[in-house]
Amino acid sequence: MPIIANGGLEDIDFANEIITSEKADLVSIGKAAMLNPDLPKLISSGRTPEAFTFDMFKYGVTIDGQRKWEAERADMKLRA
Ligand SMILES: Cc1cc2nc3c(=O)[nH]c(=O)nc-3n(C[C@H](O)[C@H](O)[C@H](O)COP(=O)(O)O)c2cc1C
């Protein structure tokens, strides 16, 4: 039966170690992938993913809440 490791595995070196040492067959990434939807592309191109913070959920854990948070963040970046 395949084993999926889960939780706090956004550190790619740690995730790789889990796979190469055969502690699990797959790793799953939750929150870090919510913030970085292009996570596999980011990692494969050598860029550093943005670190997750729970601020992302300030308008609720819904698609509407996420859109609101993203719009607010884009607006703050424009003003900076
Ligand atoms: C917004 C949100 C919703 C989640 N919903 C579920 C769910 O419905 N069922 C479930 O088993 N785990 C759910 N989880 C837990 C994740 O699947 C995962 O186990 C957890 O976030 C730890 O992985 P991570 O450190 O990569 O985020 C949810 C996590 C988050 C942040």
- Among 4, 27, 29, 31, the mutation site with the greatest number of ligand 1 atoms within 8 A of its Cβ is 31
pLDDT at 78 exceeding the cut of 90: no
Asked if residue 45 and residue 57 are part of one domain, the reply reads no
- Calpha distance 14→6 (Å, rounded): 12
Tens digit of each residue's pLDDT (9 = 90 or more) over 34-76: 999 899 999 999 999 999 999 999 999 999 999 999 999 999 8
Q: What region, left, alpha or beta, does residue 52 occupy, with left being phi > 0 and alpha being psi -120 to 50 degrees?
A: beta
- Among 6, 27, 69, the mutation site with the greatest number of ligand 1 atoms within 8 A of its Cβ is 6
Provide the pLDDT for residue 59: 97
pLDDT at 80 exceeding the cut of 90: no
**Does 74 contact ligand 1 (Cβ within 6 A)?**
no
51 CA → ligand 1 middle, Å: 16
Asked if residue 6 and residue 41 are part of one domain, the reply reads yes
Q: How many domains does the chain have?
A: 2
- Calpha distance 36→49 (Å, rounded): 6
Which residues constitute the domain of residue 9?
A: 1-49
